[in-house]
């Protein structure tokens, strides 16, 4: 059941050779898949802590694998949906459209690539939407690790060069065009490329 505050987690089933492919030269296919597994499980540990503090429903939007494989891996406590769309922006926009159609009042999207994202930072995202149109968690690589809103603004998810250092800048241009009021969360690091691994002791 979708609650008024809803968290959407984007992740991928950790199949070797099909996940964290940019890290395979450094970690190997099995190692990259294991890192994907560990980061997703770490993220869900922080989400469980958050659920002890505030009332939220949680949904996992997955790529790869299957519904049964996801449940076997992460359990039955979550809502699961396959990712739907041609690029990341379309996938995020469709996930928000779906939950706002179910009377959600605040929706936040995160990935699982940011080990520094903890329950404390997540806990600031939902109440910040009481006074802001959107909330953004900026990443050091020029993207973002979190985005949240009270309704869907499709413009935030189109004409964005996903996977580049321009994602946050281009998103900022879009929200300024829409005259939206943002809240910015702390700047965090994420793991996308081999050079990112040393930041976290890998």
What is the predicted pLDDT for the residue at 194? 67
- Beta carbons within 10 angstroms of residue 59's beta carbon: 21
Domain with residue 149: its CATH number is 3.90.550.10
Q: Would you say residue 201 lies in a domain?
A: no
In a domain? residue 170? yes
In a domain, 46, yes or no: yes
Question: What percent of the chain is modeled with pLDDT above 90?
Answer: 83
pLDDT band at 198 (very low <50, low <70, confident <90, very high): low
Secondary structure of 101-138 in the HEC alphabet?
CCCCCEEEEECCCCCCCCHHHHHHHHHHCCCCCEEEEE
User: Would you say residue 134 lies in a domain?
Assistant: yes
Mean pLDDT calculated for residue range 27-35: 90
pLDDT at residue 68, rounded to an integer: 97
What is the Cα–Cα distance from 99 to 97, expressed in whole angstroms? 6
Mean pLDDT calculated for residue range 73-87? 96
Domain count, the chain: 1
Could you tell me if residue 202 is inside a domain?
Answer: no
- Position 22 scores a pLDDT of 83
Domain with 133, as residue range(s), is 5-196
């Amino acid at each position: 059941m979708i609650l008024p505050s809803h968290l959407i987690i984007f992740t991928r089933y950790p199949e070797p050779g099909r996940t964290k492919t940019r890290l395979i030269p450094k970690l190997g296919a099995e190692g990259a898949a294991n890192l994907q597994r560990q980061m997703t499980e770490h993220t869900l540990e922080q989400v469980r802590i958050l659920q002890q503090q505030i009332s939220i429903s949680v949904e996992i939007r997955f790529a790869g694998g299957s519904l049964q494989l996801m449940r076997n891996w992460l359990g039955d406590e979550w809502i699961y949906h396959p990712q739907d769309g041609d690029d990341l922006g379309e996938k995020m926009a469709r996930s928000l459209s779906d939950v706002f159609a179910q009377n959600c009042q605040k929706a936040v999207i995160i990935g699982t690539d940011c080990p520094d994202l903890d329950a404390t930072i997540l806990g600031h995202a939902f109440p910040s939407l009481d006074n802001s149109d959107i909330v953004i968690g900026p990443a050091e690589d020029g993207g973002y690790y979190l985005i949240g809103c009270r309704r869907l603004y499709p413009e935030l998810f189109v004409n964005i060069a996903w996977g580049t250092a321009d994602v946050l800048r281009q998103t900022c241009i879009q929200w300024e065009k829409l005259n939206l009021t943002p809240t910015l969360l702390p700047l965090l690091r994420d793991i996308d490329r081999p050079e990112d691994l040393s930041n976290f002791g890998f």
